[in-house]
């Protein structure tokens, strides 16, 4: 039963995923296509992954794709065969994907589809594979070790069982799953996505808040962008050009006003800074600090978007750690990653909030559809940095768009490699089109 649909990109934001049945589960898989341990199963009996990126809540799943640990390559969505479709909704309640599953015949459990990483972002592929023996058989296929008594009497759903002893890392037993607390409050770990994020770049305050000064400040700090060893390629094809050195991601989590000091894993030079902030009717801002512990130029982020998610590029200083000052009301996460982890702009790309994007294609026209915030307001701007010789940003970026409110526009893109800084105060969609020449 079932079939595989053509893969489609999804925004690297927090998605609410439902399959029409309460018996829905997520399996977080490593590069080998298997779970790493019992914590990598999220279902009603174990409703939160330790990273906090995946949660089971009210018969649906919450996937914070921008929070997923880098070791996780795929997230499989499974459930009882009663569900006939999978749908995912963005924080602004826009439906970003819907996949219909053929009615099962003798199957008791179904793998609806999977989210997987590609080119620094996330894609979804429908699967629709059924398992006649139920979820116990299904999860076994992904490295879960089902206890003998559970295998003899396969249940249509996953049920929390008493725990005899803490489970060690490795195969998961359905009879030894305990409820785990959500992760939080840690700084300096190496968890987290990408992107892409799928995650998000720049400030998104009102049009009169000094956007030109912000962009000029970024441009000035980027002039010394020269790649080091272990650089990450611009694209999968291995063409010449790099976007800075590679390094292990840094993540910090907290709540309220804070100062974040990035550790020594992050080298000097341009880096991708991603941030999320929970809650509605609130405010979030981030600024870099200079050697005198004072604000170093305009804000990296300045937003009143609900459930904010964003990314931008900043210069990590030489000889001292990068430090960020956060103005926040609620829980936040900040992640620092190589610039090469930013989402690639190709085809149609959708997002929510500010985002740093990479473009490596030929000259093209870029169609921009800016939906704005919940009231249709908000500011949108697009700055274009040429990356000279694949290593150094242009000192004078081009301002391609600078408007307020809902907007549809088409702007020209030169050939890549480019770094695009989209300052989006709401939902947006970008489509790359071949020019008429």
Per-residue pLDDT tens for 316-338?
A: 898 999 999 999 999 999 999 98
pTM exceeds 0.85: no
Contact present, 373 and 222 (Cβ < 8 Å): no
> What is the reported pLDDT for 115?
95
| Calpha distance 378→42 (Å, rounded) | 36
> What is the reported pLDDT for 120?
86
β-bridge pairing 258-261 and 355-359: unpaired
**Phi, psi of 398, deg, nearest 5:** -95, 130
> What is the reported pLDDT for 116?
94
> Per the CATH hierarchy, to which homologous superfamily does domain 8-152 belong?
sav2460 like domains (2.60.60.30)
Instruction: Work out the pLDDT band at 354, boundaries 50, 70, 90.
Output: very high
Asked whether the predicted pLDDT for residue 233 surpasses 60, the reply is: no
Question: Between these two residues, 139 and 273, which has the higher pLDDT value?
Answer: 273
Asked whether the predicted pLDDT for residue 12 surpasses 50, the reply is: yes
Quick: pLDDT tens for 42-90: 988 888 888 889 999 877 899 999 989 999 999 999 988 876 788 899 8
Smallest Cα–Cα separation from 120: which of 352, 349, 334?
A: 349
Burial of 96 (0-12, 13-18, 19+ CB in 10 A): buried
| Calpha distance 347→366 (Å, rounded) | 10
Stated length of the chain:
437
Question: Between these two residues, 222 and 94, which has the higher pLDDT value?
Answer: 94
Quick: pLDDT tens for 339-353: 888 888 988 888 888
Q: What is the mean pLDDT of the chain?
A: 74
Of 34-38, 198-202, 265-269, 286-290, the range with the lowest mean pLDDT is 198-202
Instruction: Work out the pLDDT band at 147, boundaries 50, 70, 90.
Output: low
Question: Between these two residues, 338 and 227, which has the higher pLDDT value?
Answer: 338
List all residues 6 or more positions away from 179 whose beta carbon is below 8 Å from its beta carbon. 45, 46, 47, 48, 160
Percent of the chain scored above 90 by pLDDT? 28
| Calpha distance 249→229 (Å, rounded) | 16
Q: In the chain, where are the structural domains located?
A: 8-152, 211-433
Question: Between these two residues, 105 and 237, which has the higher pLDDT value?
Answer: 105
């Amino acid at each position: 039963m079932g079939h595989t649909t053509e893969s489609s990109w999804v925004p690297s934001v927090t998605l609410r995923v439902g399959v029409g049945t309460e018996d829905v589960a997520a399996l977080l898989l490593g590069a080998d296509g298997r779970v790493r341990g019992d914590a990598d199963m999220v279902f009603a009996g174990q409703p939160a992954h330790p990273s906090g990126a995946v949660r089971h809540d009210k018969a649906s799943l919450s996937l914070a794709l921008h929070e997923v640990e880098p070791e996780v390559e795929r997230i499989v969505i499974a459930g009882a065969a009663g569900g006939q479709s999978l749908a995912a909704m963005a924080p602004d309640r826009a439906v970003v994907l819907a996949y219909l599953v053929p009615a099962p015949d003798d199957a008791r459990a179904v793998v609806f589809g999977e989210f997987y990483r590609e080119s620094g972002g996330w894609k979804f592929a429908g699967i629709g594979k059924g398992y006649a023996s139920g979820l116990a058989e299904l999860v076994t296929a992904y490295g879960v070790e089902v206890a003998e008594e559970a295998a003899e009497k396969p249940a249509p759903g996953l049920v929390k069982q008493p725990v005899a002893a803490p489970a060690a890392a490795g195969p998961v037993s359905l009879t030894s799953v305990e409820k785990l607390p959500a992760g939080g409050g840690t700084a300096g770990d190496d968890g987290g996505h990408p992107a892409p994020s799928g995650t998000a770049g720049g400030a998104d305050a009102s049009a009169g808040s000094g956007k030109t000064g912000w962009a000029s400040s970024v441009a000035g700090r980027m002039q010394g962008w020269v790649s080091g060893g272990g650089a990450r390629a611009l694209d999968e094809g291995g063409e010449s050009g790099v976007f800075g050195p590679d390094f292990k991601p840094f993540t910090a989590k907290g709540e309220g006003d804070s100062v974040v000091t990035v550790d020594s894993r992050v080298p000097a030079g341009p880096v991708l800074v991603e941030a999320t902030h929970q809650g509605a009717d609130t405010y979030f801002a981030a600024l870099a600090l200079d050697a005198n512990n004072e604000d170093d130029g305009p804000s990296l982020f300045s937003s009143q978007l609900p459930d904010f998610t964003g990314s931008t590029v900043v210069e990590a200083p030489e000889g001292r750690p990068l430090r960020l000052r956060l103005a926040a009301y609620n829980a936040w996460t900040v992640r620092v990653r190589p610039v090469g982890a930013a989402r690639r702009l190709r085809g149609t790309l959708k997002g929510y909030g500010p985002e740093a994007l990479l473009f490596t294609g030929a000259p093209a026209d870029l169609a921009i559809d800016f939906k704005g915030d919940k009231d249709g307001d908000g500011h949108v701007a697009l700055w274009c940095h040429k990356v000279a010789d694949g290593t150094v940003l242009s000192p004078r970026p081009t301002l391609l768009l600078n408007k307020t409110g809902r907007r549809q526009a088409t702007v020209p893109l030169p050939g890549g490699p480019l770094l695009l800084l989209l300052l989006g105060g709401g939902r947006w969609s970008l489509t790359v089109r071949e020019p008429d020449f």
